[in-house]
Structures are given as structure tokens and as C-alpha cells.
Amino acid sequence: MKARKRVALVAHDNKKTELVDWVIYNKKVLGDHQLFATGTTGSLVEKALGQPVTCFLSGPLGGDQQIGAAIAEGKLDVLIFFWDPMEAQPHDPDVKALLRVAATWNIPVACDRATADFILTSPLMHKEYDALLPDYSAYVKRNIRP
């Protein structure tokens, strides 16, 4: 990972205000990084910060999956996902898949404000970092016959 991180921002409806408050509070630090987000969240963040945010589709319309694909392709470095644990989501399988792919590719993930604060204030957030990527070669070759 380069010193300038590619940060994905996602928030469920009941957590959007909290995420916007968090990005405003951290505007200076986030300004050093490239921001990505699901559609609605991205437009709110862009308006609040006055800086560009690369937006994917809205989460339920495929944005969560687009962010997951970008993680798998090595195009995102950090996932900040303020999800609502108290409300069922119609696209819950997409949410679970997004969190799984983030863990699969060993990127930092915050699901709440406290964890997001810890990630953003880590010295590693502001310098190059060599993340250890899992070796999935045995998994990829599992059904290949000699």
C-alpha cells in the first residue's frame, strides 16, 4: 500500500449521519487520501467535505459488490463501513460478502466509529505498508488434474 491510501466509505441509512459527522471531523486527514464510496454515501461525503469522491452504485443496487470487486482487484486499501447492527438489511448477503472479501484480501476494516478512529490515527495509515497477502495458490489449483 502506498502512503496515500484508497479508502472506501460505506454507511447504512441509519448510520449515514454518523459517517458524515466522522468524515467532517477527520476532513484534514482524509484529504491526504483518495476516497471511494457507495452512491448515496459518496454524494453526502462529497458535499460535506467539498472534495471529490469516486462513487459506485448505491449499496443495494450493487455498490457493495462493486467495492468488493475493487478490493479483490487490489484497487482499494481500507474499508470504513458504518453498518447498522440493529436493523435487517434487504441486501444483507451483499454486506456479508463485502466483509468476507475484505478479510480475504487482508485490508483494514472498520465497522464503527471507534475502530475507524484507530485506523485513521495509526502511523501506518500515513506511510507505505507491505500488507501480507494470503497465498491462495493451493486453493486455486485444487481442482486442476495433472
The residues that are catalytic are 64
Helix (H, G, I), strand (E, B) or coil at 139: helix
Residues 62, 25, 75, 94, CA torsion sign: negative
Which grid cell is 51?
Answer: 472534495
Burial class (CB in 10 A: 0-12, 13-18, 19+), 26: middle
Helix (H, G, I), strand (E, B) or coil at 10: strand
Which grid cell is 68?
Answer: 468488493
